[in-house]
Amino acid sequence: MMEFINSLIYNLTEVHPIHTLMVHFPIALTSAALFFILLALVRRNDTLEQIAFANIALAAVSTLAAGLTGYMDNSSIYDGEAPNSAAKMVLAGVLFVTTTLIAIARWRQPGLFHSSMRFVYVGGYFASFALVAVLGFLGGVILYGFHEAPMASTEDAPGSVVYAQPLETPTLVAAPTETPLAGVSFSLDVLPILKSRCTNCHGGDKIEEDLDLTSYAAMMAGSKNGPVIIPGDAENSLMGKALIEREMPKRGPKLSPKDAQLIIDWINEGALDN
Ligand code: HEC
């Protein structure tokens, strides 16, 4: 039980980005605010308008929280910048200002909904919703990428939908590629990837699973579970599996398909210290 609680705390505080959790608040509150203001218009009901006001005020507060956690996670989890981070910071800033202005204006002038400024007021709800929708979409790009629409194929059953694959083409082949170009080099190709993407958790102060990826010798010594590399057999190596199944790096963006494939090819070519 204690072990479970410890793992839970570890996962909540160190593994899961808090931003992903926080973003649902502005999305839900801004959407609810628009819903209630429209209902208030249709029903000519002041109570519904008050609910809309409460929602947009909370949306402003939660936008601030989502923005700050996004900024923090961006600097702690990513090497470099998360996709679209600059655009999202600008849009989040505009969303925060818009929702805050609506809330303050309505708070200072309780009769705003019945004033001549009514359309500007309701327009603000629409604008906030549009902003949060774009932000939510850009956030989704971190997880699922942005893909070209698949070409319509005559082989598909009529009316069938071809879904884009999540994550940029994770079609990593476990078998050796048919014409290994010049052969993958450990020191020139593999080690730089490990050093930039893996050794913050597998080396130095923190050595997850006792797997040290800072050098060839340390890596071949394996983890606390034994060897992680079976030369010539990426599919059955723990390291190959971790990359084929896209489990590593544990946090943040996975390796690009090209980098993952390089390491897989290197294992299949015999995992040489070359
Ligand atoms: C953010 C920390 C982190 C990063 C970065 C990371 N790992 Fe891991 N790795 C872990 C943790 C934690 C485990 C323990 C298993 C688990 O939680 O899935 C693990 C387990 C593994 C295992 C399985 C070891 C075993 O004995 O089961 C392999 C192989 C591995 N990592 C390879 C890599 C590679 C290759 C990279 C870089 C591409 C990488 N890891 C980057 C945290 C990380």
Choose the residue to mutate in 207, 241, 250 for probing ligand 1, maximizing ligand atoms within 8 Å of C-beta. 250
Query: Within a 10 A sphere around the Cβ of 65, how many other Cβ atoms?
Result: 15
Give me the mean pLDDT over the 129-148 stretch: 89
Query: Within a 10 A sphere around the Cβ of 3, how many other Cβ atoms?
Result: 7
Q: Is 162's pLDDT higher than 60?
A: no
Residue pair 65/25 in contact by the 8 Å Cβ criterion: yes
Please write the tens of the pLDDT for every residue from 7-26.
888 888 777 788 988 999 99
Residue whose CA is at the smallest distance from ligand 1 atom 17: 250
Torsion angle (degrees, nearest 10) of CA 18, 74, 206, 191: 140
pTM for this entry: 0.53
DSSP-derived secondary structure for 2-35: HHHHHHHHHIIIIIS-HHHHHTHHHHHHHHHHHH
CB neighbour burial string for 19-48, b if at least 16 within 10 angstroms, e if fewer: beebbebbbebbbbbbbbbeebeeeeeeeb
Query: What spacing in Å lies between the alpha carbon of 199 and ligand 1's midpoint?
Result: 9
The Cα 155–Cα 134 span in angstroms is 34
Task: Give me 245's structure tokens.
Answer: 């199944």
Please write the tens of the pLDDT for every residue from 172-195.
656 555 555 568 999 999 999 998
Residues lining ligand 1, Cβ inside 6 A:
197-198, 200-202, 208-209, 211, 223, 225, 228, 238-239, 242, 247-251, 255
**Residue pointed to by tokens 């909904």:** 113
